[in-house]
Amino acid sequence: MAAGENDAKIPSGFILVNKPPGPTSHDVVDELRAITGISQIGHAGTLDPLAEGLLIILIGQYTKEAQNFVKLSKAYRAVLRLGFESNTHDIDGEIIQRKEFTIPIREDVEIVLEKFRGEISQVPPQFSAIKVKGKKAYKSARSGEEVKLEARIATISNLETIWYKFPILTLDIACSSGTYIRSLARDIGDAIQTGAVVSALRRTAVGNYSLTGASDLKSINLKNWQKLLRVKSDQIKSN
């Protein structure tokens, strides 16, 4: 879009994108900017590079609606690998293998999971975008600085075991906005006394918006992106 062009002429709306694992959320924004020629594009809720799934891309005037989308509840499918820990709480970090622990049976796992349903307190990962004294925590952590983050309240409305065979534990999770799945994995691993890291993560829903309605990033192009634009609905106010 040419510099100085009236904002009213910029198509506005949001696109549900199925982000693949690998790129950052900002990488997806950059790709959509390149496809559309529009600079006024953002996203409504970061997905880590490891993660895949639903990423809501906001275009034009809809960038002003970001917080309305961010505050919506989220749903994920997470694959945890027990017996390991890392500084990032996922497999992309510096992995440490726990050497002494008892392999938990399914019943032991379920007893622990019950403690994480409902309202919980969790400390965000040091490798996160939370700002501490004006600096993003992950930048401080990468430079070797000690980062102290305050615990915060999260609500886990659903926590269901989909598959368990040590060391793999697959969970379906529905949670409030601001919940850190990596922190949840860390805390579950500590409670089971095996340690745990996230080895795969897929966001399946944001509010009432489902991954099933999202377009693969590689399928979006100059010819079809405007057809994928959605406009405001009551969903962003009712969750």
Catalytic residues: 48
Q: Measure the CA–CA gap between 91 and 208, rounded to whole angstroms.
A: 30
Cβ 50 vs Cβ 94: under 8 Å = no
CA distances for 86 relative to 14, 52, 112, 202, angstroms = 35, 20, 21, 20
Q: Among 23, 14, 80, 30, which residue's Cα sits nearest to residue 52?
A: 23
Residue spans of beta strands (DSSP E) within 138-239:
152-165, 168-175, 196-206, 209-210, 215-216
Which residues, listed in sequence order, are joined to residue 230 by a DSSP beta bridge? 14
